[in-house]
């Protein structure tokens, strides 16, 4: 094992203490201490989130926005308080701009169907990038099929960065929307979104950011970015599955038709006509995922107590150390070497298939992802069927990086 002494931790960030907040991390897998490095797929939950869910069911649970009884009023207040927390966390202007959805995927589908369905017509163009997750490709392809619009793609280079010259050229008078990953799940690339949004806006083109990966790793300020829509998933933010966030600028959301119809999104219904509820309820048909939303609130409190800047700097150290140690392994080729990168280390090994790497790592207690990461076009670009991916979270340690690197060396010994 290499020395980690030269890499000091910020004094306020004590990873060992934080690890104690996550009960799942103390278990063993196949007799080895669990090393959980699949945070880009989903993050583990701190005790405070687990407790918030359990306590809410025990003490406060009821439906929201409906009853006049005490429990319903309590549940409604708690639910709406989370909306305020989300608004504050992402620095939205108003709570009306925060729509609760199932996840980032649903957020993007909502925009594609409601905004796209209204404003994108035959002959128009939708611009995405070559590093998008399938969830920021397929909804737009579906919309293109419905509307007769065309999908255009900003290419990437070998480092996994977007080609900014071609991006500028792809902004055409027909472009109606730019839908872009804030941070790539397959490569870790953090795109220069603020500048790209400004460029798109110069052409009058609104921008949706897929923030599923970025939101857990950095402080996101939607006003500073000036994005028009921002999509994020709770379960990647140390919150439960089943709850996601769509931010949209109020004037855009006001002009958009509802996506799904049902209860809670109406003001008045007759058989002739329905008057829709105001924002944000217009986009929240049916009983929402109430308790998962409560869990999201607890997760945001937890993250903000630690501070996303502190988390980002801890993860940057983990990534830098991982990249440095990976250089010891000549058979290892990193996939995605952008200069601005989040805590994702995607790689391939000579003569060892990623699925074999994944299974072998599991025998060492190490959970990594092996596959195409729902980004098949990225795999095609690098001409690999799949990659192995270690992705870090706030609770990962330098020692775990050592275990990973040591594990990769053992895998090469066995399979190479």
Partner 1 sequence: MLQDEMRNLYQEVIFDHNRNPRNFHVMKNANRVVDGYNPLCGDRLTLYLSIDDDDMIKDASFQGEGCAISTASVSLMTEMIKGKTVEQAEQLFEQFHSITTSHDDEIKLEELGKLAVLAGVREYPSRVKCATLPWHTMNAAVKNDATSVTTE
Question: What's the closest the beta carbon of residue 366 comes to partner 1, in angstroms?
Answer: 11
314 within 8 A of 13, measured Cβ to Cβ? yes
CA-CA distance, 46 to 302, in Å (whole number)?
8
Q: Tell which one of 45, 282, 369, 372 touches partner 1 (CB under 8 A).
A: 372
Q: Beta-carbon neighbour count of residue 258 at 10 Å?
A: 18
Q: Tell which one of 48, 264, 356, 374 touches partner 1 (CB under 8 A).
A: 356
Task: Tell me the pairing of strands 344-349 and 387-391.
Answer: antiparallel
Work out whether 354 is an interface residue with partner 1 (CB under 8 A).
yes
The tokens for 283 are 């986009």
Q: Among 383, 382, 377, which residue's Cα sits nearest to residue 151?
A: 377
Q: Tell which one of 232, 360, 366, 398 touches partner 1 (CB under 8 A).
A: 360
Give me the 17-36 binding string for partner 1, x by CB under 8 A, dash otherwise. -------------x------
CB nearer to partner 1: pick between 226 and 356: 356
234 within 8 A of 243, measured Cβ to Cβ? yes
Work out whether 413 is an interface residue with partner 1 (CB under 8 A).
yes
Q: DSSP 3-state assignment of 236?
A: helix
CB nearer to partner 1: pick between 44 and 387: 387
Cβ contacts of 262 within 8 Å, gap of 6 or more: 285, 286
The tokens for 156 are 């990437």
135 alpha carbon, distance to own chain's centre: 11
Question: What's the closest the beta carbon of residue 399 comes to partner 1, in angstroms?
Answer: 19
Work out whether 389 is an interface residue with partner 1 (CB under 8 A).
no
Work out whether 411 is an interface residue with partner 1 (CB under 8 A).
yes
CA-CA distance, 183 to 185, in Å (whole number)?
6
Q: DSSP 3-state assignment of 342?
A: coil
Q: Tell which one of 7, 93, 269, 414 touches partner 1 (CB under 8 A).
A: 414
Cβ contacts of 253 within 8 Å, gap of 6 or more: 96, 97, 99, 279, 280, 282, 283
Binding region for partner 1 (CB under 8 A) out of 113-121, 262-270, 332-340, 346-354: 346-354
Please tell me the count of residues contacting partner 1 according to CB under 8 A: 22
Question: What's the closest the beta carbon of residue 357 comes to partner 1, in angstroms?
Answer: 9
CB nearer to partner 1: pick between 239 and 370: 370
Q: Tell which one of 33, 192, 377, 385 touches partner 1 (CB under 8 A).
A: 385
CB nearer to partner 1: pick between 267 and 355: 355
CB nearer to partner 1: pick between 207 and 357: 357
Work out whether 116 is an interface residue with partner 1 (CB under 8 A).
no
The radius of gyration computed from the CA coordinates of the chain, to the nearest angstrom, equals 22
CA-CA distance, 105 to 107, in Å (whole number)?
5
Question: What's the closest the beta carbon of residue 227 comes to partner 1, in angstroms?
Answer: 32
265 within 8 A of 49, measured Cβ to Cβ? no
Instruction: Reply yes or no on whether 374 is catalytic.
Output: yes
Q: Tell which one of 87, 371, 388, 391 touches partner 1 (CB under 8 A).
A: 371
Question: What's the closest the beta carbon of residue 332 comes to partner 1, in angstroms?
Answer: 17
CB nearer to partner 1: pick between 234 and 354: 354
Q: Among 294, 233, 296, 257, which residue's Cα sits nearest to residue 101?
A: 233
Residues annotated as catalytic are 374
Which spans of this chain sit near partner 1 (rule: CB under 8 A)?
30, 352-356, 359-360, 363-364, 370-372, 376, 379, 385-386, 410-411, 413-415
């Amino acid at each position: 094992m290499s020395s980690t002494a030269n890499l000091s931790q910020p004094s306020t960030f004590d990873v060992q203490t934080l690890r104690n907040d996550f009960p799942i991390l103390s278990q063993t897998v196949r007799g080895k201490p669990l090393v959980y490095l699949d945070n880009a797929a989903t993050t583990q939950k701190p005790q405070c989130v687990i407790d918030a869910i359990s306590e809410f069911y025990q003490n406060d649970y009821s439906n929201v926005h409906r009853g006049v009884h005490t429990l319903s009023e309590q549940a409604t207040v708690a639910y709406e308080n989370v909306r305020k927390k989300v608004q504050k966390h992402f620095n939205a202007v108003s709570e009306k701009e925060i729509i609760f959805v199932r996840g980032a995927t649903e957020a993007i589908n909502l925009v594609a169907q409601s905004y796209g369905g209204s404003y994108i017509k035959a002959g128009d163009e939708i611009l995405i990038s070559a590093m998008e997750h399938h969830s920021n490709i397929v909804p737009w392809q579906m919309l293109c099929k419905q509307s007769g619009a065309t999908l255009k793609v900003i290419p990437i280079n070998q480092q996994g960065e977007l080609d900014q010259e071609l991006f500028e050229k792809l902004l055409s008078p027909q472009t109606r929307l730019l839908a872009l990953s804030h941070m790539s799940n397959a490569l870790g690339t953090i795109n220069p979104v603020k500048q790209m949004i400004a460029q798109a806006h110069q052409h009058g083109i609104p921008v949706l950011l897929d923030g599923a990966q970025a939101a857990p790793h950095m402080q996101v300020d939607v006003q500073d970015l000036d994005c028009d829509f921002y999509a994020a998933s709770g379960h990647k933010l140390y919150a439960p599955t089943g709850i996601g966030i769509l931010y949209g600028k109020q004037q855009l959301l006001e002009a958009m038709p509802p996506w799904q119809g049902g209860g809670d999104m109406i003001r008045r219904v007759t058989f002739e006509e329905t008057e829709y509820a105001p924002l944000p309820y217009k986009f929240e048909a049916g009983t929402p995922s109430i308790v998962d939303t409560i869990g999201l609130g607890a997760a945001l409190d937890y993250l903000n107590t630690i501070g996303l800047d502190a988390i980002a700097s801890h993860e940057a150290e983990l990534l830098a150390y991982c990249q440095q140690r990976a250089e010891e392994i000549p058979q290892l080729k990193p996939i995605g070497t952008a200069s601005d990168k989040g805590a994702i280390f995607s790689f391939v090994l000579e003569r060892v298939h990623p699925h074999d790497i994944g299974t072998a790592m599991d025998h060492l207690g190490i959970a990594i992802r092996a596959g195409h990461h729902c980004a098949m076009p990225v795999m095609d670009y690098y001409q690999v069927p799949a990659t192995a991916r270690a992705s870090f979270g706030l609770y990962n340690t330098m020692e775990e990086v050592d275990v990973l690197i040591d594990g990769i060396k053992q895998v090469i010994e066995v399979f190479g």
